[in-house]
Amino acid sequence: MTAPRIPVLPTPPSLTTAAGEFAERADGFLAALPEFGSKMNDLGIYTEQRASEVDTAKTAAETARTQASSSASASASAASAASQQRQQAEIAASAARSSAGLPAIAGNARKRLSVNAAGNGVEWISASAMADVFDVSGTFTKSPDDQMYHVELWGGGGGGASARSNSAGGGSGGEYLSLWIRAEDVPASVAVTVGAGGAGRAEASDGGGYAGGSTSFGDILVALGGNAGAYGGYFSTPPRSATATAPASTPMMYFSASSGYGSYGSVPGGNAKDGGAGGGGAYVNSQEHAGGTSARAGNGGRGSRAFRVAAADGGVPAGGGGGGGYYGAGGAGGHGRAIITRLKF
């Protein structure tokens, strides 16, 4: 409702008004008074209504202020209670760390907690502690929280030949195989067999070396050792080729990498990326050659042309031994290796 408009009254007559105009002005003024009075009454009602509304708004504002004050008090009480609970939680956490032997967090980024060997606390484990490395045969044992395994195997390198007046070839490198397999598809314990490096031929014996041994992860995966260095002839010693052996029902993914060829008398040993490198050859007392190199495994041994000086052994793991010319003994192949990396989520 809008405020009523009060009409303007006409000019009333006065004592100085002329006699002819006095009656006319008086009649007009008196005729306007009823409407004027009605509008004044309307204004009074309007004013009373607005005053009542103002009182109502004031009361609502007071109520809201009281409620806000109560809410602020409740919030302060809740904040105080939360602070006390946090302090109590910190005290409890400190007590729990003390009783459980929890180590400090600082300085242990990207590590995980594991129950210690004594079974009375926990300790931080880094990624390097999750890889089991076998340079000799042994047993791999699963942990309850293992999820997957990355199995890497290197067979032993082949041994080099020996010759008195002929070509003495180096042994080939041992093979590399890798495999990803779920922990649930692996037995609780697995026998790990690490292949020995093949022996080099004895000095002055005119003969080839000996093959390297195979490295295996149970019956799931086998990496074959390198072939023996050849006596005589002009052909490199090829590495042995292997296939992954596993039950057809075992889900897995594996990768095979070629190892280095063992050289004959007049060429160096073959290089490799993951497998062992081949050993270098020698020819009587006129030629000797370096072994190959490998990015991830052992290098091949150097051949020898010196009188009764043995050729170099292959590097570990899986490097082929060098060939011994002019009565020198052949170098031994490097032994194999197995690395099983545990993946935990």
% of the chain exceeding 70 in pLDDT: 83
Residue 99: the pLDDT is 56
Peptide bond into 317 cis (omega under 30): yes
Of 231, 264, 263, whose CA–CA distance to 164 is shortest? 231
**Helix (H), strand (E) at residue 139:** strand 138-141
Residue 248: the pLDDT is 47
User: Is residue 145 predicted with pLDDT exceeding 80?
Assistant: yes
72-121 pLDDT, tens digit each: 777 777 777 777 777 776 655 655 555 556 677 777 776 766 777 677 77
Q: Are 325 and 307 in contact (CB under 8 A)?
A: no
Of 40, 11, 5, 7, whose CA–CA distance to 28 is shortest? 11
* Lowest mean pLDDT, pick from 33-37, 145-149, 153-157, 322-326: 33-37
295-308 pLDDT, tens digit each: 999 999 999 999 99
Phi first, then psi: give them for residue 51, nearest 5 degrees: -65, -40
251-297 pLDDT, tens digit each: 455 455 555 666 655 567 788 888 899 999 998 888 899 999 999 99
User: Is residue 179 predicted with pLDDT exceeding 80?
Assistant: yes
Query: Domain ranges in the chain?
Result: 1-75, 135-345
Distance, CA of 243 to CA of 47 (rounded, Å): 103
pTM over 0.95? The answer is no
Task: For the chain, give the mean pLDDT.
Answer: 82
